[in-house]
Amino acid sequence: QKEVEQDPGPLSVPEGAIVSLNCTYSNSAFQYFMWYRQYSRKGPELLMYTYSSGNKEDGRFTAQVDKSSKYISLFIRDSQPSDSATYLCAMESGNTGKLIFGQGTTLQVKP
Amino acid sequence: DGGITQSPKYLFRKEGQNVTLSCEQNLNHDAMYWYRQDPGQGLRLIYYSQIVNDFQKGDIAEGYSVSREKKESFPLTVTSAQKNPTAFYLCASRNSGRTDTQYFGPGTRLTVL
């Protein structure tokens, strides 16, 4: 079993839809949770960062962490075609300096 | 203009040849990382370095080697011992102790012919 599980999709939604992306994990020591966005043939860019449980909002993006369920989510409101990309979740325990990544979910937002 | 640069963007090599991928950062970050990305898979850690002249193996270090002689540079050599080297290689850097500062370079796509 992988430490971090993420449905690879693809996920296709119409423009304006609310998108929900999720990851589950097995290591209860994870404390730092990140979402990266990766456009085709580019390096990932950090989208959201959360420490421990709770919600964090940044514009159209909301990250949620539920440590009791070992489940994290990224919500995208009013999705745009420019949001079409692969979204990777990543986690770290303590300050090991080592991120563990999910497989990535490919999202397509259709105009 | 601060950031991470990787070169070349595309690289082709014949089987049996070693090849070195370049990674340079001007962010003054202490730690640097090399990841490999295959289609449909997440990023897998090859090697990382938290300080100059020191580095550790990641999850898939076999067939790879690195050096960290300068803070801003962390080259990766893909040796002929790596059985399946065709992949997208990503370099990253961050401040030690600051998970929220991990940034990636644009990547190098290596194809073995």
Mutation to test the B interface, candidates A42, A47, A58, most B Cβ within 10 Å? A42
Of A32, A98, A101, the CB nearest to B42: A101
| CA closest to A93 among chain B residues | B99
Average pLDDT over chain B, rounded to whole?
A: 92
* Structure confidence by residue, pLDDT tens digits, A15-54: 999 999 999 999 998 989 999 999 998 999 999 999 888 8
Residues on chain B touching A104 (C-beta within 8 angstroms): 41-42
Q: Is the pLDDT of residue B1 over 60?
A: no
Above pLDDT 70, what percent of chain B?
97
* 3-state SS string for chain B: CCCEEEECCEEEECCCCCEEEEEEECCCCCEEEEEEECCCCCEEEEEEEEECCEEEECCCCCCEEECCCECCECCEEECCCCCCCCEEEEEEEECCCCHHHCEECCCEEEEEC
Contact criterion met (CB < 8 Å) for A34 and B58: no
Count the helices and strands in chain A (H runs, E runs): 0, 11
* Structure confidence by residue, pLDDT tens digits, B38-62: 987 789 999 999 999 999 999 999 9
